[in-house]
């Protein structure tokens, strides 16, 4: 019982700390009550499960062993280790919540799969030695209280029947509580942050692990498949595209002029460089002087875009494949992604060479596997930098990956064949360190804003070098964030924190600086770049050319944990597990959007359109139909 109530106390203490520290709106007494009692409900369930493990130990230990010295030492040692882990996990949960404003979610599950990057990152980002020492001291204090309270427990002769009764009672209590818990997540109100605070880390981690691979039709609301395809075809129609097949297909032929030059394409996918940091998009922190200057004097700047998720793999599937963020794993990591449509496939069919550069290890999140199986000829990663000047656990610094990119692009351009080059940066990531002497700020401070400023500095150096190269005049350059830096907001999908920039540069397509406020997202980057090139191609993409689309069809699709949604017409429709639907209204650039209490007919149509988008995407992916016919591929792919 002492162990059981100790768990409840420390989890409640953590919940109070998270609520006070990270909830930005004023807290009412009702908020405290709902969060604490809603959390206690979930904590009781987990505490009973943990207590069951100890009770099972007591059941199988013979009474004659119980009071022996070796058993006492073994028992208290196991207790120390168990309590130490529990206390240490409080610190881990706090750090995770600080970064993601969430209890353990799919990010935590992914991190467990890549311990090398993650644990070294934690070591570099936090005072692990001091935290461990503090946890050990607190564990020792708990052990002292427990041993004093139970110093006579070895003298008590407890029958096997009584021990079984304890196990039965605890198991029955856990089963009864399980029947009353919504494992999708806590729901104590409409505020996402408070719902996250009231959850339990063990429950949220277990649910995230079990829902990596989801049967869409089983967990999410659906409509008849023919209707779903009809709705998606309507949403994708218009512009200069025409469908090439009837019925259950979204394959389209985008018209263009085949005599137009095959411009090179360079895509710079920037880690966590969300709109909140950019001066040209409203920030006053002065963190992006280089990109502000380029965007405002030489660029085509899109000011109303949203990332499709808050992970790099979500940014990749959105930008490279123009594919909606299905619940569960990104298609970058799924097992049916050996032949899906990407911008690399489109351009290879038009005779391009393709190259992907990443500063880290290609095995992380399956990045190398996905890219080399889907149109990229070569994949350059950390091991290909023989003597990097500066690295973190995530890979080589942005300067070095950009310098290597310039060299590679120069060589490709000299071959006389058009190329696609995609660069994924890593510097704007914890532990937020970078080479000294580049910017005024000290990298030893390890602050996010400093890493942002260094990332901007590295981009400036890249474009300074690129403008001196022969390929500058016949290349389209695009700088886009994979996702925003932080998650904040009360909605199930906190859309305001998903804002990202897109800047297109290059004299071949931008003759004068301009801004475009068309609503869009990650999925629209590739269709927009291909539209600027003006050459014909075939496509299965879900995104639109933002420069050649009807404003009425403007939208952004988004994912957060297991929630998926669509934002259009200042309305956000969110689909969740157990086939639930939420609606929000408002302009996230002006104020936090609010739940819709009385949906109208337009809201119902938005919900159906949202269901259709994800249902069709799931159908195409699961049946391996998200690809243009393999016979049209322009040559055999290889990687080295």
Q: pLDDT tens-digit profile of 171-229?
A: 898 899 888 888 877 888 878 788 889 999 888 888 877 766 677 887 899 999 999 99
Task: Tell me the per-residue pLDDT of 492-537, one tens digit each, with 9 for 90 and over.
Answer: 888 988 999 999 999 999 999 999 999 999 999 999 999 999 999 9
- At 40, which helix (H) or strand (E)? helix 29-60
For residue 493 the two structure tokens come to 């999908």
Q: Does the pLDDT of residue 584 top 90, yes or no? A: yes
Report, as an integer, the average pLDDT of 601-625: 95
Q: Does the pLDDT of residue 545 top 90, yes or no? A: yes
Strands (E), 225-299: 241-243, 252-254, 264-270
Q: Does the pLDDT of residue 631 top 50, yes or no? A: no
Q: 573: closest CA among 547, 544, 596?
A: 596
Q: Which segment, 3-12, 59-68, 150-159, 178-187, is predicted with the most confidence on average? A: 3-12
pTM above 0.85, yes or no: no
Report, as an integer, the average pLDDT of 622-638: 63
What is the pLDDT, as a whole number, of residue 634?
A: 41
102 pLDDT band, cuts 50/70/90, is confident
Pairing of strands 353-358, 378-380: parallel
The gap from C-alpha 238 to its chain's centroid, in whole angstroms, comes to: 31
What is the pLDDT, as a whole number, of residue 489?
A: 66
The more confidently predicted of residues 632 and 273 is: 273
CA 295-301-305 angle, 5° bins: 135
Q: Does the pLDDT of residue 289 top 70, yes or no? A: yes
Residue spans of alpha helices (H) in 299-420: 312-321, 343-348, 367-373, 398-414
Task: Tell me the per-residue pLDDT of 380-417, one tens digit each, with 9 for 90 and over.
Answer: 999 999 889 899 888 999 999 999 999 999 999 999 99
Phi, psi of 538 (to 5 degrees): -105, 150
Range from 58-62, 188-192, 276-280, 431-435 carrying the lowest mean pLDDT: 58-62
Phi, psi of 447 (to 5 degrees): -110, 145
In Å, what is the CA distance from 334 to each residue of 104, 185, 327, 615?
21, 24, 11, 17
586 pLDDT band, cuts 50/70/90, is very high
Q: 497: closest CA among 269, 307, 227, 301?
A: 307
Q: Does the pLDDT of residue 156 top 80, yes or no? A: no
In Å, what is the CA distance from 425 to each residue of 268, 288, 304, 376?
8, 16, 23, 17
How far apart are the C-alpha atoms of 342 and 539, rounded to whole Å? Answer: 9
Buried b (16+ CB within 10 A) or exposed e, 424-439: bbbbbbbbbbbbeebb
Q: 505: closest CA among 307, 249, 263, 309?
A: 263
What is the pLDDT, as a whole number, of residue 466?
A: 98
Q: Could you tell me which residues are beta bridge partners of residue 277?
A: none
What is the pLDDT, as a whole number, of residue 158?
A: 60
How far apart are the C-alpha atoms of 201 and 36, rounded to whole Å? Answer: 14
How far apart are the C-alpha atoms of 265 and 405, rounded to whole Å? Answer: 12
What is the pLDDT, as a whole number, of residue 393?
A: 84
Q: Could you tell me which residues are beta bridge partners of residue 476?
A: 265
- At 60, which helix (H) or strand (E)? helix 29-60
- At 118, which helix (H) or strand (E)? helix 115-125
What is the pLDDT, as a whole number, of residue 638?
A: 34
For residue 196 the two structure tokens come to 């996250």
Average pLDDT, whole number, for the chain? 89
Buried b (16+ CB within 10 A) or exposed e, 107-133: bbbbbeeeeebbeebbebbbeeeebee
Q: Does the pLDDT of residue 118 top 60, yes or no? A: yes
604 pLDDT band, cuts 50/70/90, is very high
Helix (H, G, I), strand (E, B) or coil at 152: coil
**Structural domains in the chain, sorted by start:** 2-210 (no CATH), 219-515+523-632 (3.40.720.10)
What is the pLDDT, as a whole number, of residue 286?
A: 94
Q: Does the pLDDT of residue 152 top 70, yes or no? A: no
How far apart are the C-alpha atoms of 407 and 466, rounded to whole Å? Answer: 10
356 pLDDT band, cuts 50/70/90, is very high
Q: Could you tell me which residues are beta bridge partners of residue 530?
A: none
Contacts of 384 (CB under 8 A, 6+ apart): none
């Amino acid at each position: 019982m002492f162990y059981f109530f100790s768990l409840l106390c420390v989890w409640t203490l953590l919940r109070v700390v998270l609520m006070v520290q990270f909830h930005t709106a004023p807290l009412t007494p009702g908020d405290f009550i709902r969060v604490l009692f809603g959390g206690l409900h979930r904590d009781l369930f987990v505490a009973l499960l943990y207590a069951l493990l100890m009770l099972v130990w007591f059941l199988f230990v013979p009474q004659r062993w119980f009071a022996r010295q070796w058993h006492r030492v073994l028992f208290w040692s196991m207790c120390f280790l168990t309590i130490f882990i529990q206390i240490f996990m409080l610190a881990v949960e706090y750090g995770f919540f600080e970064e993601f404003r969430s209890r353990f979610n799919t990010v935590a599950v992914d991190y467990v799969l890549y311990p090398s990057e993650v644990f070294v990152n934690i070591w570099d980002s936090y005072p692990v030695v001091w935290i461990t020492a503090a946890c050990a001291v607190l564990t020792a204090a708990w052990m002292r209280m427990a041993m004093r309270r139970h110093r006579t427990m070895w003298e008590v002769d407890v029958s096997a029947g009584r021990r079984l009764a304890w196990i039965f009672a605890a198991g029955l209590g856990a089963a009864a509580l399980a029947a009353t818990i919504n494992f999708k997540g806590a729901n104590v109100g409409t505020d996402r942050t408070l719902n996250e605070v009231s959850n339990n880390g063990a429950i949220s981690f277990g649910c995230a692990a079990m829902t990596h691979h989801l049967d869409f039709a089983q967990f999410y609301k659906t409509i008849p498949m023919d209707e779903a395809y009809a709705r998606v075809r309507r949403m994708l129609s218009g512009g200069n595209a025409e469908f090439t097949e009837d019925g259950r297909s979204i394959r389209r032929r985008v018209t263009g002029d085949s005599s137009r030059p095959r411009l090179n394409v360079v895509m710079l996918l920037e880690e966590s460089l969300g709109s909140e940091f950019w001066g040209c998009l409203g920030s006053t922190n002065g963190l992006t002087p280089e990109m502000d200057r380029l965007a405002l004097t030489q660029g085509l700047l899109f000011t109303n875009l949203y990332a499709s998720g808050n992970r790099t793999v979500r940014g990749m599937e959105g930008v490279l494949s123009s594919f909606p963020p299905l619940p569960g794993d990104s298609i970058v990591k799924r097992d049916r992604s050996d032949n899906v449509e990407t911008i690399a496939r489109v351009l290879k069919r038009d005779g391009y060479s393709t190259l992907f550069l990443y500063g880290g290890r290609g095995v992380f999140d399956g990045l190398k596997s996905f890219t080399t199986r889907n149109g990229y000829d070569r994949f350059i990663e950390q091991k290909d930098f023989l003597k990097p000047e500066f690295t973190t656990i995530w890979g080589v610094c942005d300067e070095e990956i950009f310098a290597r990119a310039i060299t590679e692009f120069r060589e490709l351009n000299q071959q006389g064949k058009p190329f696609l080059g995609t660069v994924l940066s890593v510097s704007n990531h914890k532990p937020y360190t970078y080479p000294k002497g580049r910017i005024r700020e000290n990298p030893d401070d390890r602050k996010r804003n400093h890493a942002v400023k260094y990332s901007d500095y590295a981009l400036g150096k890249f474009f300074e070098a690129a403008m001196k190269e022969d390929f500058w005049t016949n290349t389209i350059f695009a700088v886009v964030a994979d996702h925003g830096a932080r998650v904040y907001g009360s909605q199930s999908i906190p859309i305001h924190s998903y804002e990202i920039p897109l800047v297109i540069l290059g004299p071949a397509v931008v003759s004068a600086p301009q801004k475009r406020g068309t609503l869009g997202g990650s999925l629209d980057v590739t269709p927009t770049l291909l539209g600027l090139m003006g050459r014909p191609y075939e496509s299965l993409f879900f995104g639109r050319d933002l420069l050649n689309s009807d404003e009425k069809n403007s939208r952004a699709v988004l994912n957060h944990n297991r929630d998926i949604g669509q934002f259009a017409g200042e309305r956000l429709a969110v689909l969740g597990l157990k086939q639930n639907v939420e609606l929000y209204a408002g302009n996230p650039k002006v104020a936090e959007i609010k739940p819709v209490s009385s949906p109208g007919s337009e809201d119902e149509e938005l919900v159906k359109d949202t269901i259709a988008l994800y249902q069709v995407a799931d159908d195409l992916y699961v049946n391996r139909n998200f690809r243009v016919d393999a016979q049209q591929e322009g040559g055999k792919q290889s990687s080295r």
